[in-house]
Homo-oligomer: A and B are copies of this chain.
Amino acid sequence: MRDAERSFREFLREKNLKRTPERMAVLRGVLSLDGHFDADQLLERVQSYNKRISRATIYRVLPLLIDSGFVVETLSARGRVSYERSHGSFRHGHMICERCQEVIEFRSERLEELVGEICTAHGFVENEHRLSVRGICKQCTDKKGQE
Contact = CB atoms under 8 A, between A and B. Distances in A.
Interface residues of A, number: 41
A108 B129 CA distance: 15
Interface stretch (A5-13, A40-48, A49-57, A73-81): A73-81
Q: Which of A98, A110, A111, A129 has the most CB of B within 10 A?
A: A129
B122 A129 contact: no
A68 B136 CA distance: 13
Nearest to A86: B134
Given A73-B79, A75-B74, A125-B141, A133 B104 contact: no
Contact of A81 (B75, B134, B135, B141): B75
Q: Which of A108, A131, A136 has the most CB of B within 10 A?
A: A131
A104 B81 contact: no
Given A75-B73, A81-B79, A131-B131, A138 B114 contact: no
Interface of A: 63, 67, 72-75, 78-81, 93, 95, 97-98, 104, 106, 108, 110-111, 114-115, 118-119, 122-138, 141
